[in-house]
Amino acid sequence: MRYAPGVPMALNPEQQQAVEHGPGPMLVLAGAGSGKTTVITQRIARLIERGTPPRAILAMTFTNKAANEMLERIVRLAGHRAAEATIGTFHAFGLKFLRIESKALGIPDGRFAIFDQADQAGVVREILRTVRGAADRRYDGWAILARISRARNEFVVPDAYEPRLGDEDGEVTKIVYPRYMKALRAFRAFDFDDLVCETVTLLESRDDVRERWQERYRYVLVDEYQDTNHAQLRLVRLLGGGHSNVCVVGDDDQAIYGWRGADVANILEFDQHFAGTRVVKLERNYRSCRAVLEVANGVIQASEGKRHDKRLVATRPDGQKVQMVVGENGEAEAQFIGNESRRLLDEGLKPRDIAVLFRSATQAEAIETAFKGQQIPYRLVGGTQFYEKKEVKDLIAYLRAALNPRDDISLRRIINYPARGIGDVAVERLAQHALANSKPLSWAVERAPTIPGLSPHAANGCKALHAVIEIASRRFAASESPCSIAKGIVSGVRLETDIAAGSGSNAVAARRKGNLDAFLAMLERNDDKLRGVDALGGFLQMMTLQSETDSDDPGNVATLTTIHGSKGLEFDTVFVAGLEEGLLPHARTLDAKASDVEPQDLGEERRLFYVAVTRAMNRLYLCRARTRQARGGPKGAARTPSRFLADVPPEWIESRAVTGFQPASMKSMLDGLAGVLAAIEKA
Interatomic CA distance for residues 368 and 439, integer angstroms: 50
* β-bridge mates for residue 30, sequence order: 282
Q: Across residues 100-106, what is the average pLDDT? A: 88
Q: Are 602 and 608 in contact (CB under 8 A)?
A: no
Give the pLDDT of residue 592: 52
Q: CB-based contacts of 176: which residues, under 8 Å, 6+ apart?
A: 124, 127, 128, 131, 144, 148
Across the chain, how many H-helices and E-strands are there?
A: 29, 18
pLDDT digits (tens, 9 = 90+) for 13-39: 999 999 999 999 999 999 999 999 999
Q: Give the count of alpha carbons within 13 A of 334, CB side only.
A: 20
Of 335 and 679, the structure prediction assigns the larger pLDDT to 335
Higher per-residue pLDDT: 381 or 9: 381
Question: Which residue intervals of 187-206 are DSSP H helices?
Answer: 192-205
Residue 649 has pLDDT above 80, yes or no: yes
Q: Which long-range CB contacts under 8 A does 661-670 form with residues at least 24 apart? A: 661/335, 662/332, 662/335, 662/336, 662/339, 663/339, 664/339, 664/342, 664/343, 664/374, 665/339, 665/342, 665/343, 665/346, 667/346, 668/342, 668/346, 668/374, 668/375
How far apart are the C-alpha atoms of 293 and 282, rounded to whole Å? 14
Single out the residue of 442, 529, 524, 521 nearest to residue 479, CA to CA.
529
Would you say residue 667 has pLDDT above 80? no
**327: three-class secondary structure by DSSP:** strand
**pLDDT given at position 362:** 84
Split at pLDDT 50, 70, 90, the class of 106 is: confident
Nearest residue to 147 (alpha-carbon basis) of 132, 159, 161, 137: 161
pLDDT on residue 660: 60
Residue type, 430: L
Question: What digits encode the pLDDT tens for the residues 222-280?
Answer: 999 999 999 999 999 999 988 999 999 999 999 999 888 899 999 999 999 999 999 99
**Percent of the chain whose predicted confidence (pLDDT) is above 90:** 51
Mean pLDDT to the nearest integer, 66-77:
92
Q: Residues 399-446: pLDDT tens digits?
A: 888 888 888 888 888 898 888 889 888 988 898 888 888 888 899 999
Tell me the average pLDDT of the chain: 86
% of the chain beyond a pLDDT of 70 = 89
Instruction: State pTM to two decimals.
Output: 0.79
Report the pLDDT averaged over residues 511-533. 80
Task: Tell me 583's DSSP state.
Answer: B
Of the candidates 244, 228, 265, the residue with the CA atom closest to the CA atom of residue 89 = 228
Residue-wise pLDDT for 357-411, tens only, equals 999 888 888 898 889 888 899 988 865 556 677 888 888 889 888 888 888 888 8
d(CA 494, CA 488): 10
The pLDDT, as a whole number, for residue 595 is: 47
Predicted local distance difference test score (pLDDT) of residue 634? 57
At 680 the pLDDT is 40
With cut-offs at 50, 70 and 90, classify the pLDDT of residue 312. Answer: very high
Outline where 21-84 has alpha helix (H).
Answer: 36-49, 64-78
Distance CA 668, CA 462 (A): 59
b (16+ CB within 10 A) / e for 341-356: bbbbbeeebebbbbbb
pLDDT of 518 strictly over 50: yes
What type of residue is 665?
Answer: S
Give the pLDDT confidence score for residue 133 in this predicted structure. 59
Q: Which of 37-51, 533-547, 667-681 has the lowest mean pLDDT?
A: 667-681
The catalytic site residues sit at: 36-37, 223-224, 254, 615
pLDDT beyond 60 at 661: no
